[in-house]
Every structure is written in structure tokens, then in C-alpha cells.
Chains A and B, each alone.
Chain A
Amino acid sequence: MKEFKILAVVAFFTLVTYWGVEPFAHSQMHKHVEGNNFAYDGKADVEESAMAIEAAKNIENPAKKAAVIDKATKKLAEKKAFWADVNAISKIKGNAASGEALFASCMGCHNGSGVNMGGVIPPSLDHAGSLYDKKYLIALLKDPAIASNVDHKYENTMMHPMGTVKTMVTTPQQIADVVEFIKTKKVGKLEPKQAFLEACARCHADRYGNITQLGEMPKFKTEKEALEYKIKVLAEQDAIKAYMGKLPPDLSIISRARSEHFIKTFIENPQSQLPGTSMPRVGLTKEGFEKVYTYLEETGDPSKDARHALGPWVILFFVVFTILAYLWKKSQWKDLH
């Protein structure tokens, strides 16, 4: 029938246009990053270092080129050795009891006092065993800067706010012990909001969820109280700004501003999506990420459930409407031809 042919032509050109401005355009605008399924084995880091050597080969000035290549080659060797060590330590059986004794020294900073130390407030470790990956924790205790893949920011890991951990937990066995303690004792059922507070909120606010860099915002009785709190938040933000270079964005509706795939691969390894970013890798487990993402969706797209509940009914309404309209049209047109 002629009308179907016309419809096919209209649909064809519409779909080509849609394909061009949506899937195709986005595939050209954003590079695709494969995630590593929340396994922290240094694969991406070694690849990044290898690519840095390749990139250095394009430098024109021969002296500079040689120096950069030399530095990048050393970096590659360092990363390879580091992650090989991490993999080796992960095979050592840890002792949770001796780990607990060592963990006491962590509490010097991770004590919930809300005091900024060297740039950020050390996060609570109450659910660290559920939130963070085992190999990542090993790497973090061994060298926080390399583990979080921000070593480009530090000449020396001792400059990192958590650098002193290298003097507290020194042997592979000690590292294995502390990680064993965290992975067995610092675990528990985690609400999405708590996951966000522990893993993200020391840098990122979520104002739609009433969260600032100081944690959950209390209720205020007077304007003075509110302003006093606000000044504290601003001071904390300044400290973070000084440490990170810029204030990390509020994440209230990040789940609508970025795709789930982007957020997933970005959290897993920020450098993969934004080379040079000062955001550290935080080493979330798959489960930890899912909790955090659930929270991001709760504040970013709270009407999702309502939308999915109402959608089928509205569409069904118009399907029935169309059938009735077709019958009416048929009755109106039956004498015309």
C-alpha cells in the first residue's frame, strides 16, 4: 500500500538522522574505554606507562625526547615491579589478629574526627573490607600514590597525605595481615548512602542528598548556625581545592550527566577517561561500586521507578486510543471510495 511505502521512506530518513546525531556522533566524540571489571592488577597502569613511551617518541627536540623517554622507561619498570609485588603479596596468607594490632596505627588518622590532614579528611574505614578491593588495599599500603594512580603528582610518595603508611606497615607479611584484618573484620551490610559517604564524600558533595565534604548536613535552628556550618564547609572545600587543584564536582545528578559506563570505568581508573586528572583511584569492589552507583541514581534520578511504573499505562492508553480512532476513521471513510 502506498501509505506504508511513504511511511517507510519517512522512517528511513528519520532513523538515519537519529543514528547520525546520537549513536554515531557519540561514538566519535568519546573514546571507548574497556573496564577491567574492578580487578586491580596494574594492567591498565602498565599499558598507560607503555603508551607514554610511545607518545614521547613524537617529541621534536632530541635532548628533551631522550630525557622524557628515559624517565618514562623507568616509570614503566617501576610500575611493572610494583604490581608484580602486589600480586605476590596477595598470595601470602595474612593473620587478622596481628593485622588488628597494626591497624591501630591507621586509627591515628582514620578516626572520624573530621579533621583535614594534608588535603582531605581521612575517610572512615568502617566498611573498608566491603568497599575496597583486596589487591588495591595491598597496593595502597605499599605505595598510596602508585596505587591510586596519581604518582604523576608526587616526586616522592612521602609527599602524599597517606605517604607515612610506608613507615608504619613495612613488610609484605605486615601488609597481608592488615589487609586480612580489613577484609574480614571491617565488613558489613552497607546502605548506598553510607557507601557514598565513606568512598566519595571526603571530596565530592551531593547537595540533593544533603551531603557536603564534611559529611551529612545537620539541621539548623538559626541562620547563624547554618552560616557557621557553611563557613566550615567552605574552609574544607578550600583545603581540598588546594590539594586537588580544583574543587571536585558535586555529584547530585552526575548519573544523568554521564553514562553508567563512563562512571564505572572512571571510578575504576580515573586516568583512563581523564588523563592527568588529580582524582585518585579509590579501588572500589564491584559490590562497592554498585552501592555507590545506586546512591548516585537515588539523588540523580529519583523518579526512575515512578517513570517505569507509569510508562506502560500511558502507552497502553494510546494504543487503545489508536484502535478506537482507527475504527472511527473506518466508519467515516467507508462511503467515500
Chain B
Amino acid sequence: MAHFDKKAKPFSHQWLNDRLAVDTVKKVLSTEYWIPKNINFLWAMGMILAATFGLLLVSGIFLLMYYKPDTKLAFDSVNYTIMTEVGYGWLWRHIHGVAASVVFLIIYIHMFTGIYYGSYKKGREMIWLSGMLLFVVFSAEAFSGYMLPWGQMSYWAGMVITNLFSLGSLDIQAIVEWIRGDYVPGDAFLTRFFMLHVLLLPLVILALIVFHFATLRIPHVNNQDGEEIDFEESAKLYKEGNKKESKVIPFNPVFLSKDIFVMGIYFVLFFYLVFYHFEFAMDPVNFDPADGLKTPVHIYPEWYFLWSYEILRPFSKDIGLIAFGFAQVAFFLLPFLDKSPVVAPANRRGLFKFWFWIMLVDMIVLTIMGKLPPEGAWNIIGLVAALTFIVLFAVLPFITKFEKKA
């Protein structure tokens, strides 16, 4: 039985401390959660992601008040009721649409920051894996949300993506029909993806965000030079007032002050997109109502899925599906494929330097090719880029094994 101060007034500091250990919690999670001082603005991407998720959640709540998950009503509930009748409905929709697109840009920057600085290894594997899980669930969340306006792109994306689950030439239609609850994407499909989008997947995301934060606490955040810091010693220096000598800063308020400044710049850009440049995130074709008898002339996923879509496209059906499956899990394997113990920026890591920049450029090439019509030279470039992607993962263990220790 713990000791309780019987004289403490209800809800006083002492009273709460006896019951909830608020001082300890505050120290562990905030004022004595030590972050390396040697960081740049890329370290703010995590909090920016959290903030963007917050925007998605809030705007989503307001959209949910008027959205109708019914194939007959969905399109007009979004495009008429929300966009023209609901006070500031257009604002919530634009925030939701733009944030859903921009969140992936930030995720990719966050991911490539981790890859560049080697933040996925030597005790930080669980950070990487939980982050990759978040990426996958965010992808599912984005896809299920894309169904909801029930426009042409919603319908045909739903058709094509669910068809992937027939498993190539095994052609198991039963799985596809089970996922859809119908022979084609219809009312059952829309309603269950609505459920996934507004309940199940957000719950999973929230749990995973908590888990992702938890995985950071013990190994601590990496720094710009991959330096191994003695956090206890540095923390002692900081607390004694030797802030210049200490290599760490507390999460709150010092690290947070920088995060919030970066977030401010991000929000300026973000709201510029919301008000003046939202077309990239709200595809015009999806303003045509779903029509199961007419495929749009050009059909392509949202930009953040294009690279993996392009890995599927240049190959025959079965090989394409296997390549696509590989692309989905490849990044999970990174901590185990990288055999080098060195934690340092890619530019200081021999061949890995080339690996990193080729990978980055290759993903962008795949992304661009993924949207172009599959014809002529685009097909060849797409094929080369897809093969490059696979080869890069295949050679990673070898080039990192012989990496010189820095």
C-alpha cells in the first residue's frame, strides 16, 4: 500500500501526485525526456505528422456530421450538402483532402530522414517497424477515405484495388467478393469502408501512434551525426546549468519550441494549399459521379501510391503482383538488410551514400511514371525503375557488409 498524505486537499498537487504520480509522469514524458541538441528541422516532422493527424481528425468529425454512407446519397452529401450548405463545410473538406495528401509527403520526408541518418538500427529497430506499420495503416485509411465521395475515381480505385486480392492467376473471386460484400463495389462495400475509415482504422492509428512514441523513449532520438550520446551524463550537465556543454535538451519546452516554429512555417504552406491550390489533392475526375459502366479515360491512384503502383504495372499479372507485394514489405526489412553497424549520415557511409540517393531518385521516377499513360518510352523507364528498386534491396546486405567502420 502506497503512502497517501491524508492532509492533502482534493485535487491539490500533492493529492494528485500521490494518486497519479504527476511529477514523475511530467518528468519522464516532458521536462526530463532528453533529446539531442544536434538536430535540424527534419526532427520536427514527427510533431508535424501528429498535428496533421489532428487536423484530419477534427475536420473529419465535422464531415462525419453530414456525410451519408449510401451509394445513392454519398456523392451529393459531399458535393452538395457539405460543399454548399453546411457552414464552413467546404473548409473542412478542403482541409481534410489537402491534409490527406500532404500527410504522405511528410511521412516520406520522415522516412527518408530516418534512412539517411541510419535511425532504424542499433536499438532503434522497433521505432522503424512501428513507423512502417503506421505507414501501412495510413495507406489503408487514405484508400478507404478515397472511396467515400463515391465519384468515378472512388469507384474505379475500389474496383481495381480489391481485384488485386484475387491473387493473380489463382483468380480467387470469392476473396474479392467477400471484401466487397457484392460482385462489384456497391452499397455494402461503401458502408464497410466507411466503418473502416471512421472507426476501426483511426483506432488502430491512435494505438500505433502511442506505440511509436513509446518505442522512442528508451533508445532515444538519433542525432545529425549518429553520435552515441551518454544521455544520463548529458542530462546531469544540463540540470546543473551547464547547458552549453550538455549534448541534450529537454523535450519540453526547448525541443518543442523549435518544433512549433517549424510547424508554423508548415501551416502557412498548408493553408496556402487549402485555400488556393487544392486541385492536386482533390482529383477533378472524382467530381464525376461513380458510373459502373464507364471507366475514366485515365485512371491512376493518388500520388503517394504511384511508386508501388508503378512497380506492379510493367510486369505480367503474377510477377507484377509479387513485385507489388515485395514493394509493400521491402522497407520493413531495412534494419535487417543493412548489415553495417555504422549509424551515420548516408553521405559518410561509402557505397550506402549512392544507395540512398539512387533509391530516392528511383522512387520519384516510379512516382512520375506511375501517373503517365502506360505507353512507349514511359513503359521502359517504368520497368527499369521497378527493377532498380528490387535490385537496390537485393544488394543492400552486400554493400553494407563491406562498409568500412567510420
A-to-B contact residues, CB < 8 Å: 2-3, 6-7, 10, 13-14, 16-18, 20-22, 24-25, 28-29, 207-208, 249, 252-254, 256-259, 300, 302-303, 306-308, 310-311, 314-315, 318-319, 321-323, 325-326, 328-329, 331-333, 335-337
Contacts and interface: CB of A to CB of B under 8 A. Distances in A.
Most buried by A among B249, B282, B368: B368
B367 A332 contact: no
Nearest to B40: A3
B152 to A, nearest CB: 9
Main secondary structure, interface of B, reads: helix
A274 to B, nearest CB: 10
Nearest to A324: B264
A311 B271 contact: yes
A28 B372 contact: yes
A326 B288 contact: no
A254 B275 CA distance: 20
Contacts of A249: 288
B402 interface: no
Contacts of B373: 28-29
Contacts of B336: none
A21 to B, nearest CB: 4
Interface residues of B, number: 51
B90 interface: yes
B295 interface: no
Interface stretch (B54-62, B186-194, B252-260): B252-260
B364 A20 contact: yes
B390 to A, nearest CB: 21
A22 B265 CA distance: 23
Contact of A306 (B90, B271, B272): B90
Interface stretch (B77-85, B154-162, B315-323): B77-85
Given A2-B40, A257-B285, A318-B271, 7 more contacts: A20-B368, A252-B79, A257-B287, A300-B287, A322-B261, A322-B264, A322-B265
Contacts of B287: 253-254, 256-257, 300
A325 B276 contact: no
13 contacts: A7-B41, A17-B303, A17-B368, A25-B300, A25-B368, A256-B282, A302-B83, A303-B84, A307-B90, A310-B91, A318-B267, A326-B261, A333-B257
B285 A21 contact: no
Contacts of A315: 268, 271-272, 275
A273 to B, nearest CB: 11
Contacts of A303: 83-84, 90
Contact of B254 (A7, A13, A323, A333): A333
B260 A332 contact: no
Nearest to A16: B364
A28 B79 CA distance: 28
